[in-house]
Amino acid sequence: MQEKHRFTWPHKDLLDVSQLSLDEVNHLLDTGEQFHEINRRPVKKVPTLKGKSVVLFFAEPSTRTKTSFDVAGKRLSADTFALTKSGSSITKGETLKDTALTLQAMNPDVIVIRHWSSGAAQYLAERLDCAIVNAGDGWHAHPTQALLDAFSLRNHWGRSFAGKTVLILGDILHSRVARSNVQLLTKLGASVRLCAPHTLLPAGVHNWPVTVHTSLDQAVQGADAVMCLRLQLERQQAGLLPDLSEYATTYCLTARHMAMANPGALVLHPGPMNRGLEIASELADRPESLVLEQVASGVAVRMAILFLHATRKDGGTK
Ligand code: CP
C-alpha cells in the first residue's frame, strides 16, 4: 500500500459507527479504496497482515459478512480462524465470557463477532485486550454493513452526501443495519427517510434524525437512493405482520416506485434478499441495483477495518 499520510487509528474496537468522527469515517473509507484496487488485480494478496491472527466468531448465521471478513483477512495474509455456534462449545452451555476468554488465550489480534445479543461486542471489548469488531449484535448495530453501504454510495456520489436523500424501507424495528445506517448517512450529510408499517417502526423513532413515513408512494418521491431491508421473520413476534402478501403489495420496492424517485436513483439491499417480498426480483437485477457492488465493497471495507485495528499498536497507518 502506498504511503499517503500517517494516521494513528485511535480505536481499539469497532462497536458502532457512533464512535467514529467524520474524519475517521473518511480515513477508513479512503483506506478501503486502496484495498479495493488490490481486489481487482490478478493476484489479490498482499503481505500487509502477515503474522496477524483474526478469529471469526459467528454465533448467528451469515453468508456475506463472515465470508468477506475471511476473504479480507486472507487477502492481507492474516491467518483467519472461524468459530460458529453450531460447531462450538456454546451448544454445550459455555458462556460468552468463557468462550471469549478461551479465544483470547490463543492471542489473536482481532476477534470479529456476530451475536444475537445487543451489546455482546461491547461486553467482549471491555474484557479482552485484542481488538473486537462488531459484525452485528442483536438489533443494536451493524457498523461494517453501514460502512460498506457508504463506500458503495461514495463510488457514485463522491465523499459528501450533502443534498442526497436516502430512503430506508422495511423492517426498521428489528434492523441493526437501519440503526447504523441512520447514524452514518446523517454523519456524511445525507437526509434520511424511513418507511415502514406502524408495527415495524421502533418506539422513539420520532426522536431519530429522520423523517418517518408509512406510505411508500410518498416516501420514495425525490429519493436519491432506496435501501431495502430484510424482513426479519425470525425476530418477529406474532401479530406484527398478519399477512405477508399484503405487506408485499404495500412495501415491496418495484420499478414503479423507482420511477417516482430522482433520476438515476440507486437501490441497495444488505442481503439476504427475500425477492418479491422486500424488493421486486427484476429490480434487484437491474443496473441501478448495487446489491452485488455492496458485496464487493464489503471485502475492501473489511480489509481496511482489519488493517486499521490489527496494526494500531504497530505505530499507525503505513
Ligand atoms: N448483510 C449481512 O449482514 O448479510 P449476512 O447475514 O449474510 O452476513
Q: Is 53 in the pocket of ligand 1 (CB under 6 A)?
A: no
How far, in Å, from the CA of 63 to the mean position of ligand 1? 6
The pLDDT score that the predictor gives to residue 5 is: 54
Q: Where in the chain is the domain with CATH 3.40.50.1370?
A: 17-142+298-317, 143-295
Pocket probe mutation, ligand 1, options 58, 64, 168, max atoms within 8 Å of Cβ? 64
193 touches 248 (CB < 8 A): no
pLDDT at 7: 78
* pLDDT confidence of residue 317: 42
Q: Give start and end residues of each alpha helix (H) in the chain.
A: 22-39, 64-75, 96-104, 120-125, 143-157, 176-187, 216-219, 244-251, 255-258, 281-284, 291-310
Looking from the CA of residue 63, the nearest atom of ligand 1 is: 7
Q: Which residues are annotated as a binding site for L-aspartate?
A: 92, 176, 230
Let me know: does 124 contact 67? Beta carbons within 8 Å: no
The CA R_g of the chain, rounded to the nearest whole Å, is 19
- Alpha carbons 247 and 171: distance in angstroms, whole number: 11
**How far is ligand 1, taken at its centre, from the CA of residue 315, in Å?**
32
Indicate whether residue 63 lines ligand 1 (CB < 6 A).
yes
Residue pointed to by grid coordinates 430522482: 262
pLDDT for 87: 85
The grid coordinates listed for 22 are 467524520
Strand partners, 211: 193
Give the residue among 18, 22, 17, 24 at the shortest CA–CA distance from 312.
24
Q: Which residue, judged by its Cα, is nearest atom 3 of ligand 1?
A: 65
Ligand 1 site, residue 271, Cβ cutoff 6 A = yes
Q: How far is the CA of 176 from the centre of ligand 1 (A)?
A: 11
CATH number for the domain running over 143-295: 3.40.50.1370
Bridge partners (DSSP) listed for residue 84: 58
Cα angle for residues 55, 144, 138 (degrees, 5° grid): 80
Q: Is the pTM of this model over 0.85?
A: yes
Please tell me the distance from the alpha carbon of residue 100 to that of residue 64, in angstroms, as a whole number: 23
Q: In which residue ranges of the chain is pLDDT below 50?
A: 3, 316-318
270 C-beta closer than 6 A to ligand 1: yes
Using the mean position of ligand 1's atoms as its centre, give its distance from the Cα of residue 135 in Å. 9
Q: What is the pLDDT of residue 315?
A: 54
The continuous run of DSSP H or E covering 168 comes out as: strand 165-169
| Pocket lining: 62 vs ligand 1, CB cutoff 6 Å | yes
Which atom of ligand 1 is found nearest the CA of 142? 3
Indicate the pairing of strand 110-115 with strand 53-58.
Answer: parallel
Fold of 17-142+298-317: Rossmann fold (3.40.50)
Q: Give pLDDT, residue 104.
A: 92
